[in-house]
Amino acid sequence: MTDKTSNQMWGGRFAAGPDAIMEAINASIGYDQRMAAQDIAGSRAHAAMLAATGVITDSDAEAIRKGLLTVLSEIEGGAFEFSTALEDIHMNVEARLKEVIGEPAGRLHTGRSRNDQVATDFKLWVRDQLDAAESGLLALIRALLAQAEAGAEWVMPGFTHLQTAQPVTWGHHMMAYVEMFGRDLSRVRDARARMNESPLGAAALAGTSFPIDRHMTAEALGFDRPAANSLDAVSDRDFALEFLSTASICAMHLSRFAEELVIWSSAQFRFVTLSDRFSTGSSIMPQKKNPDAAELIRAKVGRIYGANTALMMVMKGLPLAYSKDMQEDKEQVFDAADNWMLALAAMEGMVKDMTANRDSLAAAAGSGFSTATDLADWLVRVLGLPFRDAHHVTGSLVAMAESKGCDLPDLTLADMQSVHGDITDDVFGVLGVDNSVNSRMSYGGTAPAQVRAQIERWKATLS
């Protein structure tokens, strides 16, 4: 195939032929420039260590330090010109450093490789994102706690199969999400602790013959320790996979909550009112107020799951140590991180701004025979019926109420005694939704006293 034919296949996108195609597939600077701050931090720590161990002179280290700060200032100020010919952030920074300080720049790469350099940069970047995720989760949990505290005793229907099951409280429902996002928080912290080992100084794969001090650079960069095996240090992307796995589980939780907000804010439910800040109107239907933020959060999980699967596929068949395939790790993680942080912030904003419609919640709580289980429990507790018999009696009473077009508390005592003659007036004391929720005093139950206890436990944990 001629170069001309090849270029026609590319539709003119690569006018310079195979060299341009190779440059395009090989370069990562289009996206890994996001790690500029981490790259320069790693280089500063490395240069300081090289001077401390006598590998380079103090004057060279000082020139490198000042030069790197100049390069960082140019990047942050938008004056830096990135070059695809220089492939990646590491070579772009080093090339510019040489222009700024001359010969000492060539000594910076002593005792390291781009293999350990990129692993270090990427770890530092992911660690920053885990810290951001922790902050986002803490803010969301606090917003949920505020909602739970405000509505600790507001009754609402609890659902299974999206069918009315038993009455619960608004506070109890909010606290369910506190527990879910609390697990996400623990996963974030756990992942951060596990990944906090420095690859720097592992060099290409075997370490280096220079008398470097990897503990010094690890400490300078905030790592707990240097990675213990140089082969593993440059080959490992578990930290990125664990970040994506943690993000995926959290995104699933966000999506579940978003789905409930979509349902609850509908005209058919009216459980919550979302603020105008997180809703949009319709271009044609003036009555519409669409929960677009919740819907978009619900969709973000697909991108984050996809990133997790994509990186798993990149890594699954790679031999040790570094392979160029691993350049495909960053775009997936960058995209997932952006969408995770955005979804967390949007959900926190919606939760802080939303209003629970107490009257609508209460009206729905008493519908759908939601206290049927309380009736069955009363038959067991007071009349001594076996639960299966109590279940059958209650089912018959539900069918009777359904045929009469009323709810269980609306049946007369005579109606109830026609199904089981030993039922007394006392039964009506358990059929109200408030009585129902107040009776659920088992640990972790929906009784307001239990909900408030869990709120206090979480407040103490967070403080």
Among 2-6, 34-38, 163-167, 413-417, where is mean pLDDT lowest? 2-6
* Per-residue tokens: 170: 């608004």
The predicted pLDDT at position 2 comes to: 43
* Distance between CA atoms of residues 25 and 264, nearest Å: 47
More confident call, 18 vs 415: 415
- pLDDT, tens only, 422-462: 899 888 888 888 888 988 889 999 999 999 999 999 999 99
Q: Strand pairing of 197-198 and 225-226?
A: parallel
Who contacts 322 (Cβ-Cβ below 8 Å, separation ≥6)? 115, 204, 205, 234, 235
Distances (CA, A) of 316 to 28, 191, 230, 309, 311: 21, 20, 20, 10, 8
The predicted pLDDT at position 198 comes to: 98
Is the pLDDT score of 403 beyond 50? yes
Among 110-119, 141-150, 358-367, where is mean pLDDT lowest? 358-367
Residue 5 pLDDT grade (very low, low, confident, very high; cuts 50, 70, 90): very low
The predicted pLDDT at position 25 comes to: 86
φ/ψ of 273, rounded to 5, equals -115, 120
Give the catalytic positions in this structure: 161, 282
Nearest 5 degrees, angle CA 54-CA 58-CA 59? 140
* Distance between CA atoms of residues 433 and 237, nearest Å: 52
Percent of the chain exceeding pLDDT 70 equals: 94
More confident call, 97 vs 429: 97
Mean pLDDT of the chain: 91
More confident call, 455 vs 167: 455
396 CB neighbour count, 10 Å cutoff:
14
Q: Which of 446, 351, 431 is nearest to 156 (CA)?
A: 446
Q: Please compute Rg for the chain using Cα positions.
A: 31
More confident call, 425 vs 194: 194
Residue 4 pLDDT grade (very low, low, confident, very high; cuts 50, 70, 90): very low
The predicted pLDDT at position 7 comes to: 45
The predicted pLDDT at position 282 comes to: 54
- pLDDT, tens only, 226-267: 999 999 999 999 999 999 999 999 999 999 999 999 999 998
Is the pLDDT score of 23 beyond 90? no
Is the pLDDT score of 14 beyond 60? no
What predicted TM-score, i.e. pTM, was given to this entire model?
A: 0.89
Please state the rounded mean pLDDT for residues 81-92: 91
Orientation angle between helical segments 372-383 and 387-404, nearest 10 degrees: 140
- pLDDT, tens only, 128-159: 999 999 999 999 999 999 999 999 999 999 99
